[in-house]
Amino acid sequence: MGAALAGAVGLGLLAVPAGAGAAPELPPVTAEELISSVMTADPGPFNGTVKLDNQLGLPALPQLPQAANGTSTATVWSDGDRKGRVSLPTGQTERTLVADGTTVWSWNSADRTVTKSPESEGPHRRPAADPTAAATEVVKHLRATSTVDVDGTAEVAGRSAYELVLAPAPTERTLLREVRVAVDAEKRVPLQLTVLATGSSDPALRLGFTDLTFGAQDPSLFTFTPPPGATVQERPAHAEDAKPGAAKPTVVGDGWDTVVIAKAPTGERAPELAALGKPVSGPWGNGREFTTAVGTAIVTDDGRIAVGAVPEQVLTEALTK
C-alpha cells in the first residue's frame, strides 16, 4: 500500500512544472547598457528548444498550424554565424529548415518535399559602429512613446536573465499593455519575449527558450541532402516581393498606435474572408472587422486592409483620414 502511495506522489510530482525559481540576484543595469550589450553580443554556437505559447486568437492557417491558439515547440541549432537548423515537429510530421551558408533547405515530411532557395546575400549581421550611441538613440526613440525599464530579473531556461520592459505611454491608444524581453545576463541574448494585452493577466504571446546550451555544434547538422524519394523544388530568391506595381502601404500614426493601411491581397492565393469577421461600416465605407487579443484588422469592401495593435476606433479614424 505504501508503494502505491509513493507512486501516486511520484505522478503528482511529475505534473508539477519545473517551476520558476526565485528571481536571481544580478548587478543592476540600465536599459541603455542592456540594449547596447545585446547589440554587441556574440553568443557563438548554441542549441535549444523554443516554446511558443500563442493566445493571440488568430484563425488556424493550413500552411502554419503554429498560428492558431496553443503551444508549439521548435528545436533550433546555430553555429553562431550564418548556418542554422530549425525543426518544427507537429504531431507525426515535421518541417525542417536548414541554412548551410549558401542555400536554405526546407523539408516537409507530410508531402516529402524539399524546397531549395539560395540564401539572401548581403550582410547578415551589421555591427553598429558605436553600440553605446546606437543604444542610446534606440532608447531615446522608444521613450518618445513608451516607458523603457529594466524591471528586475527572471530565470528563463535555467539561466539568469534581466527583464527589459516596454510599456506604452498613457497617451498611446493601444490594445497592448506591456512587452517584456528577458535578456540573458551572461551572454546578453534575448531568451524570452512576452506580449501582454490589456484586460488579461495571461500573456497573449510568449516565445522563449525552454532549454538552451551554448557550445560547439555538430557540423553535420548544418548540411542537408534531400532523402531518396523526395520531390525537390527550386525557388529563386526574392520571387515574392519582386512584383511590379505593388503599392507601398500607408502608415498612419506612430508609436504603439500605428495603423498600416495596405491593398488587400487579391487573386487565387487571397484568403476567403467574406465568411469571417464581423460586418462594420463607417464614414470610410463598409467592411469586415477581425479582432484578436492584441490587434484589430478591418478589410474594406473597396479592397483596403487596415491593421494595428489598436482598438477599432483608431482604425476607423485612420481609414477616414
Partner 1 sequence: MTPAPQPPPRTASTAPLGRLLAAEVRWVLLRPRTLVMLGLFALIPVVIAIGVVVADGSGGRGLIGATAGNGLVLPVAAMTLALTLLLPLAVAMAAADAIAGETAHGTLRGLLLAPVGRLRLVGMKASGVFVVAVLATGLIAVVGVLAGLVVVGGADGQLVTLSGTTIGLGDALGRVALVAAWTVGQLAAVGAVALAISALTEHPLIVLASVLGGLIVFGVLGAIPALDFLQPYLLTSGWTAGADALRDPLPLGGMGESTLRALGYAVVGGGLTVALMLRRDA
> What are the residues binding partner 1 (CB under 8 A)?
1-8, 10-12, 14-15, 75, 87, 89, 91-94, 96, 105, 107, 109-110, 112, 114, 221, 224-230
**Which one-letter DSSP state was computed for residue 166?**
E
62 versus 283: smaller Cβ distance to partner 1? 62
SS3 154: strand
CB of residue 74 to partner 1, shortest distance in Å: 11
CB of residue 233 to partner 1, shortest distance in Å: 14
**CB atoms < 10 A from the CB of 202, how many?**
10
**Which one-letter DSSP state was computed for residue 253?**
S
In 3D space, the residue among 240, 252, 268, 245 whose CA is nearest the CA of residue 305 turns out to be 252
193 versus 230: smaller Cβ distance to partner 1? 230
29 versus 230: smaller Cβ distance to partner 1? 230
CB of residue 317 to partner 1, shortest distance in Å: 37
162 versus 224: smaller Cβ distance to partner 1? 224
76 versus 262: smaller Cβ distance to partner 1? 76
CB of residue 284 to partner 1, shortest distance in Å: 38
Residue 147 CA to residue 200 CA, distance in Å, equals: 20
Where on the phi/psi map is residue 217: left (φ > 0), alpha (ψ -120 to 50), or beta? beta
How large is the angle between the packed helices 131-143 and 31-40, nearest 10 degrees? Answer: 130
Residue 107 CA to residue 223 CA, distance in Å, equals: 12
- Phi then psi for residue 8, to 5 deg, are -65, -40
CB of residue 196 to partner 1, shortest distance in Å: 21
106 versus 160: smaller Cβ distance to partner 1? 106
CB of residue 49 to partner 1, shortest distance in Å: 8
Handedness of CA 308, 310, 315, 318 (dihedral sign): negative
Residue 225 CA to residue 214 CA, distance in Å, equals: 26
Residue 305 CA to residue 267 CA, distance in Å, equals: 15
CB 260 within 8 A of CB 250: yes
CB of residue 199 to partner 1, shortest distance in Å: 21
71 versus 281: smaller Cβ distance to partner 1? 71
